[in-house]
Amino acid sequence: MKHFMKHFMKYSKDIVSPLNDYAFVEIFGNQKNIGNTRAFLKTLLDIPETEYDKLTVVSPNLGRFFKKGKKGIVDLKLKTKSDKIIHIELQVEKKIHFRNRILYYAARLIGDQLRWGDDYGKLHQVISIVICDHELLEEEGSYINEYKLRNKENRAFTNLLKVVILELPKLPDADDSAIWPWLKFMKCKKMEEYEMLARKYPQLEKPIFCAKEMSLLEKWRDLRFHKNLQKVDEKYMRMQWEMDARAKGHAEGKAEGHTEGHAEGLEKGEQKRGRAIAKNLLAEGSTPEFVQKMTGLDLKTIQELTTEQR
């Protein structure tokens, strides 16, 4: 136990990056942590604060217009008090045609709002926020860029669609905006960076706590998994050694001229032991193919044993 805790304390200094898909959704896409999401959005968007009175995480699945239409799943989809849709997409690696994908998701989020016979006046604004850990807009110098449908005179055509792009590689070293601490948080790679940000920016204390908690949990799971995997490997190695030893003894017995009747008895004994081992493996959740490999029994016999245990 001391040995395990020593390694656990060592790993606890590491973190699960907020840019990890699972971590990001847990910190910002879990309804119990909606306060983190609300605080983040308030620093970025210019919508009325009352919209956040009812901020809800909804299904990220996009519907299909046609039977063979393309499926879609966004990273995070939220609804505000007046049913505005806020879509947050996290993209760590650079992907070809990613700008097209952003527009495709936004269009689907608009189109999915209406059903047969609905009036177009029922459409609500869609705000797509894209967080990139790479340079998407090479032509822009700023790390924050907002896009709307406007004409050359900067007059809006509609407010139904807004796209906000945040590029982490362009983030300056010094704090220069309200959203800067949040993006700095997403770039953290060491526990010390978390602690420094939490001291300077109280609004980040809760999301940092969530990230730390998850980091410890993930490392604990990782250590437990490898510890259990080692036990399983050792167990099956012992079983394999025992089976090899019995097979060797059986072969030597036959070579020394045992009678056919005795050999048949040995074979039956081997089958009986093989069946017993197979039952234990099946009870522990092993696949029939693995059981066959370990015992030499045919799949039909293994299937019969599976049926007997139900």
d(CA 248, CA 244): 6
d(CA 241, CA 232): 14
Distance of CA 52 to the CA centre of its chain: 26
The better pLDDT of the pair 150, 226 is held by 150
The residues with which 77 forms a beta bridge, in sequence order, are: 58, 87
Q: 197 near 175, Cβ under 8 Å?
A: no
d(CA 25, CA 286): 32
Q: 274 near 296, Cβ under 8 Å?
A: yes
Residues 6 or more apart from 98 whose CB is under 8 A from it?
A: 91, 136
* DSSP of 46-113: -S-GGGGGG-EEE--EEP-SSTTPPPEE-SEEEE-TT--EEEEEEE-S--TTHHHHHHHHHHHHHHTT
The better pLDDT of the pair 285, 34 is held by 34
- Give residue 261's pLDDT band: very low, low, confident or very high (50, 70, 90): low
Q: In the predicted model, is pLDDT for residue 267 greater than 70?
A: no
**Residue entry with tokens 């190695």:** 237
- Grouping H, G, I as helix, E, B as strand and the rest as coil, residue 116 is coil
Say what the pLDDT of residue 254 is.
Answer: 57
Q: In the predicted model, is pLDDT for residue 288 greater than 90?
A: no
Q: In the predicted model, is pLDDT for residue 163 greater than 70?
A: yes
pLDDT digits (tens, 9 = 90+) for 51-91: 999 999 998 887 665 556 677 789 999 999 999 999 999 99
Residue 131 corresponds to which amino acid?
I
Say what the pLDDT of residue 1 is.
Answer: 42
Q: 6 near 223, Cβ under 8 Å?
A: no
- Give residue 41's pLDDT band: very low, low, confident or very high (50, 70, 90): very high
**CA distances in angstroms from 270 to 14, 28, 43, 238, 243, listed in the order given:** 50, 57, 71, 17, 9
Count Cβ atoms within 10 A of the Cβ of residue 170 and give its class: 0-12 exposed, 13-18 middle, 19 or more buried: middle
- Give residue 181's pLDDT band: very low, low, confident or very high (50, 70, 90): very high
Burial 137-155 (b: 16+ CB within 10 A, else e): eeeeeebbbeeeeeeeeee
Measured at the alpha carbon of residue 53, what is the angle toward residues 175 and 157, in degrees to the nearest 5? 75
- Give residue 119's pLDDT band: very low, low, confident or very high (50, 70, 90): very high
* DSSP of 191-220: HHHHHHHHHH-GGGHHHHHHHHHHHHHHHH
The better pLDDT of the pair 4, 41 is held by 41
- Give residue 240's pLDDT band: very low, low, confident or very high (50, 70, 90): low
The better pLDDT of the pair 124, 14 is held by 124
The residues with which 116 forms a beta bridge, in sequence order, are: none
d(CA 86, CA 189): 27
- Give residue 270's pLDDT band: very low, low, confident or very high (50, 70, 90): low
pLDDT digits (tens, 9 = 90+) for 216-239: 555 444 444 444 545 555 555 666
Going from N- to C-terminal start, the domains of the chain cover 18-187, 224-309
- Give residue 46's pLDDT band: very low, low, confident or very high (50, 70, 90): very high
Say what the pLDDT of residue 61 is.
Answer: 81
The better pLDDT of the pair 148, 282 is held by 148
d(CA 93, CA 130): 13
Counting residues of the chain whose pLDDT is more than 90, the rounded percentage is 49
